[in-house]
Amino acid sequence: MILAALAGAGVAHAQDYTLQPRQVLVVYDTRIPDSLLVAEHYAGSAKVPGGTGGKAGTRPGVQVVDLMFTGAPVAIQPDVTYTQFKASFRTPLRAWLAGNDPLGRIRCIVLTKGIAHRVQDTDVATVGDDPLNNVSELNAGDLTCASVDSELALLQLNLDNLENGNRGDSYADGMIINPYHNQTLPVGAWPTRQRRNTRLFDWVLTSSYGTGVICRSRTVPSVQVLTPGDMYLVCRLDGNTLPDVFAMIDRAQQNTVNVDTAVVILDESNSNGIADAGPNAELDNDDFNDGATSFLRIGDDDERTRDQLLADGRFLATNIRYDKNNSPNGFMVGPRINFGGGIVVNGPVVLVGTDGSNSAGTEPGNAGHDLPLSIEWGPMGCYTSIESYNARQFQGLTPLFNQSQIADALSIAGGATFAIGNVYEPYAATLPDVEVIARNFYRGRLSWAEAAWSAIPALSWQQVVVGDPLARVVLSCQDIDGDGVWTIDDLYAWEAAGTTARPRDVNRSGAADDTDRRLVDPSPRPMDHVDMAGSQR
């Protein structure tokens, strides 16, 4: 990892805002056998003909599109040029959406195994995999490489207009601040009716960089402001093998997390262990040296995640495992592989944020590469690491620099269910916030797609989100009636003992009170004020 210290209408019901299967579009290509079979497993044989047949589908309510029938050129390689990206993905998907989703109901796009995951730089094709020249291209204000997924997040915008290899001559030259970053509401809280409008951005200038690094949406006029309603939440169902992908999808349906046993791993190196108010040299707290105002980071990520989980109270405090030290004995590993050292953490692990191979070369044995395979994963486990190329290993590409790979974490041999990774060098300031994943997915009510993209600071950049976008966590302390789902019946069960002996102190505060009641209540309370903002007011 290279540090970035370089010189309309009203809505009738709140629940309508949460991501629904009918708002998800699964993109597959019959000409790519793996893509076809993953789409069939997820959406069902009735919607995806030509596969093995007889599959009911994990999420049969989703919509599907076969790229073969859109006239798109097939893209079977892991990398595509920007021209190929437009021909194989952007143009045909825009046309399909214009004809089949004119009202903009689709909120989420799901890409399937075998579909390209990297868009090459427009003038230096291999610069994404070349860290030193990557820095030069970034400083020159002309770094256009990105993940296919992140580029599709702004599918309706022509980010490459006027791109000619010069500094900041197109909005593709760098990254665009994600308007959904650090939000807590479901993405449906923002309308999509202006999604196809032209958007104007300003380049953020700093003392270290010139034009062409960070794009920020203008704030006026309102019709040109980029909002979360303008973007698509792009997820990927991908992995090393077909059985790996099928197993990953199936694991996401076992969505209850036991708060009495679930473990969280937060592993830094060279950290002071304090949730610093401002940026510093720690990888989880870098902000591109952009001065007093950070355009991308929200704070000292690992420490803030630790402190907020402890304050929440629902997870057992002794299972929030944090380490700040830079030594082989300060590197957290799982018990499934003996690396000859490290802090062995037994599972079931639900969330990992680690420096990985960027622990200054001090990890024991080959732990930096094999870490996710050593972990005892619990239900709904999510893997993130501060490694530049941890999402490279798809479609036959091999790892760089002995970094761990999210594809290994998500494999049958691994056992994680979700991951966010980087296809090219992302720079520390654009890494996903583990704090937001913990808050919105494990402690909150958002779907995986919503939680993951609310954790990512930048669009048109290097991240991919892998896993079932519709999955949601049910904490065991919220499933009062024990039926495996979190519904109003759990609130009724919590109330059933009466006011003098309520059944569960959910947040371990020593008393069962109204705070616990609100944690058990499945109603989408954060949306109440949005409900009152529509025509029904």
- Give the pLDDT mean for 263-269: 96
How would residue 293 be classed by pLDDT, with cut points 50, 70 and 90? Answer: low
> Mind listing the pLDDT tens digit for each residue in 303-318?
999 999 999 999 999 9
Q: Residue 229's closest CA among 110, 103, 117, 111?
A: 103
Burial of 390 (0-12, 13-18, 19+ CB in 10 A): buried
> Mind listing the pLDDT tens digit for each residue in 341-356?
999 999 899 999 999 9
Instruction: Give the strands of the sheet with 458-459, arranged side by side.
Output: 201-204, 214-217, 175-177, 458-459
How would residue 18 be classed by pLDDT, with cut points 50, 70 and 90? Answer: confident
How would residue 11 be classed by pLDDT, with cut points 50, 70 and 90? Answer: very low
pLDDT of residue 16: 52
Q: What is the DSSP letter of 89?
A: I
Q: Is the pLDDT of residue 217 over 70?
A: yes
> Mind listing the pLDDT tens digit for each residue in 225-255?
999 999 999 999 999 999 999 999 999 999 9
Mean pLDDT of the chain: 90
pLDDT of residue 334: 97
At 215, which helix (H) or strand (E)?
A: strand 214-217
How would residue 533 be classed by pLDDT, with cut points 50, 70 and 90? Answer: very low
Of 348-362, 366-380, 449-463, 467-481, the one with minimum mean pLDDT is 348-362
How would residue 470 be classed by pLDDT, with cut points 50, 70 and 90? Answer: very high
> Mind listing the pLDDT tens digit for each residue in 40-49?
999 999 999 9
Q: Residue 336 corresponds to which tokens in the numbers above? A: 């499934």
CA–CA gap between residue 256 and residue 472 (Å, rounded) = 9
> Mind listing the pLDDT tens digit for each residue in 48-95?
999 999 999 999 999 999 999 999 999 989 999 999 999 999 999 999
The amino acid at 39: A
Q: Is the pLDDT of residue 5 over 90?
A: no
Phi, then psi, of 458 in degrees rounded to 5: -130, 150
**pTM for the predicted model, two decimal places:** 0.93
Pick 245 or 290 by higher pLDDT: 245
CA–CA gap between residue 318 and residue 236 (Å, rounded) = 33
pLDDT of residue 504: 79
pLDDT of residue 79: 98
